[in-house]
């Protein structure tokens, strides 16, 4: 039994209430650990998948893809706002299941790629969003594109943009890159793929890039 | 709109889309960092909870060792006392037995 409500969690995310968020995080982790065994084959992936899924969930709330409406949680799907028919914890498990399958597929094909996972265009609908919703839809498209990055791209771009490391520092920390030129090229390719993915979706929805 | 130098290392300028992407990367990295911080705090709290338990176990073990040590010394102490007593008994007997005064003066307790 959760000691918090879904609404409490949504409000904690929107108001940056870290104390409540930590409590929600620990509850979600206990729930996840208790139920993940039924879905996941590889136990070594559980912690990573849990954290990725939590980030995904929080970003959906921050970009208001999941929002509170008439005292109930709703979610934007295929361009329309629909009631969320499950708890956030169950939704978290569904995110995790998808990520788990993606991980297994990646391992199976042994593909080391800088590709960004293709966006599921059906999530944004076919019609251009209303002007008032444009900003939020743009953010969701970018959120999904960044969530779909390869681990390699995520590591390089996070070190560069979040940790503000120089290319020399990143080169020293990453054994996979052997030259600064190679690293610069990788960074450029990662960003370019993100731009292309996002721009393609923006064009389809007739949003300004 | 162009903004220069999002990262000091870079000479590139960032357009609005790049800014959006960099901002999203930052947001997700912040969540990641927060979760790692919570996990570390949980591990620290677990260690702190174990500390009194470990401390008690160590104290009890130390007391047991001390006890064994003291106990091991005791038989020798008893033996030493017993030897002294054995040596003193003849002397005392002679002292208390009425005899020629010259015999008493000539007797002296032997040292162990």
Asked if the model's pLDDT at residue B25 lies above 90, the reply is: yes
For A9-13, A32-36, A142-146, B105-109, which range has the lowest pLDDT when averaged over its residues?
B105-109
Looking at residue B1, what is its pLDDT?
38
Residue spans per domain, chain A: 1-111, 112-209
- The answer to whether the Cβ–Cβ distance between A160 and B7 falls below 8 Å is yes
A162 reaches B (C-beta below 8 A)? yes
Mean pLDDT of the residues in chain A: 85
Q: Does the residue B94 lie in any domain?
A: no
- Tens digits of residue pLDDT in A53-77: 999 999 999 988 998 888 889 998 8
Tell me which of A128 and A93 has the higher pLDDT.
A93
**Nearest CA of chain A to the CA of B23: how many Å?**
8
pLDDT band at A107 (very low <50, low <70, confident <90, very high): low
Please give the full DSSP string across A137-186, using - where no structure is assigned: HHHHHHHHHHHTS-HHHHHHHIIIIIS---HHHHHHH-TT---HHHHHHH
Residue A159 near residue A175, CB atoms below 8 Å = no
> Domain for residue B21, yes or no?
yes
> Quick one: which of A133, A28, A146 has its CA closest to A79?
A133
Query: Is the predicted pLDDT of residue A163 greater than 80, yes or no?
Result: yes
Residues ≥6 apart with Cβ < 8 Å to B87:
B109, B110, B111, B112
Identify all chain B residues contacting A92, using CB atoms and an 8 Å cutoff.
Answer: none
Domain extent at residue B49:
13-82
Is a pLDDT exceeding 70 seen at residue B111?
no
> Hey, which residues does A67 pair with through a beta bridge?
A74
B1 within a domain of the structure (yes/no):
no
pLDDT at A44 (0 to 100): 73
Per the structure, the count of domains in chain B is 1
CA distance to partner chain A, nearest, from residue B50 (Å): 20
Is B96 part of a structural domain of the chain?
no
Nearest-Cα residue of chain A relative to residue B20: A142
Class of the CATH domain delimited by A1-111: mainly alpha
In CATH, the architecture of A112-209 is Orthogonal Bundle (1.10)
B93 within domain boundaries: no
Beta carbons of B22 and A161 less than 8 Å apart:
yes
Instruction: Specify the 3-state DSSP secondary structure of A117.
Output: coil
Contact A40/B at CB under 8 A? no
In a domain, B70, yes or no: yes
Complex ipTM: 0.84
Nearest CA in chain A to B22: A161
B11 contacts on A by Cβ (under 8 Å): none
Q: What per-residue confidence (pLDDT) applies to A192?
A: 93
Mutation site for A-interface testing, chosen from B2, B28, B30, B45 by largest number of A Cβ within 10 Å? B28
pTM over 0.80: no
């Amino acid at each position: 039994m959760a000691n918090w409500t879904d609404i409490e969690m949504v409000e904690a995310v929107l108001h940056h209430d870290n104390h409540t968020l930590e409590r929600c995080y620990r509850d979600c982790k206990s729930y996840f650990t208790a139920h993940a065994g039924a879905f996941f084959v590889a136990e070594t992936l559980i912690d990573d998948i849990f954290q990725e899924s939590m980030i995904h969930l929080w970003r959906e709330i921050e970009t208001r893809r999941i929002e509170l409406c008439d005292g109930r949680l709703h979610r934007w799907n295929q361009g329309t706002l629909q009631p969320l028919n499950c708890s956030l914890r169950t939704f978290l498990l569904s995110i995790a299941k998808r990520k788990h399958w993606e991980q297994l597929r990646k391992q199976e094909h042994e593909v080391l790629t800088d590709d960004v996972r293709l966006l599921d265009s059906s999530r944004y609908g076919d019609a251009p969003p209303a002007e008032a919703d444009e900003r939020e839809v743009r953010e969701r498209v970018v959120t999904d594109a960044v969530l779909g990055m390869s681990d390699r791209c995520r590591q390089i771009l996070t070190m560069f943009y979040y940790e503000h490391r120089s290319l020399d520092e990143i080169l020293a920390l990453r054994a996979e890159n052997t030259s600064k030129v190679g690293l610069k090229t990788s960074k450029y390719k990662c960003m370019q793929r993100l731009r292309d993915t996002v721009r393609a979706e923006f064009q389809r929805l007739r949003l300004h890039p | 709109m162009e903004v220069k130098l999002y990262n000091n290392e870079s000479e590139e300028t960032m357009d609005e889309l790049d800014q959006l992407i960099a901002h999203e990367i930052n947001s997700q990295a912040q969540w990641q960092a927060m979760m790692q911080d919570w996990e570390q705090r949980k591990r620290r709290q677990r260690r702190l909870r174990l500390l009194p338990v470990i401390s008690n176990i160590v104290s009890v073990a130390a007391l047991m060792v001390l006890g064994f040590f003291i106990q091991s010394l005791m038989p020798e102490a008893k033996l030493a006392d017993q030897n002294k007593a054995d040596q003193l008994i003849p002397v005392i007997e002679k002292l208390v037995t009425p005899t020629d005064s010259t015999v008493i003066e000539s007797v002296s307790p032997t040292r162990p």
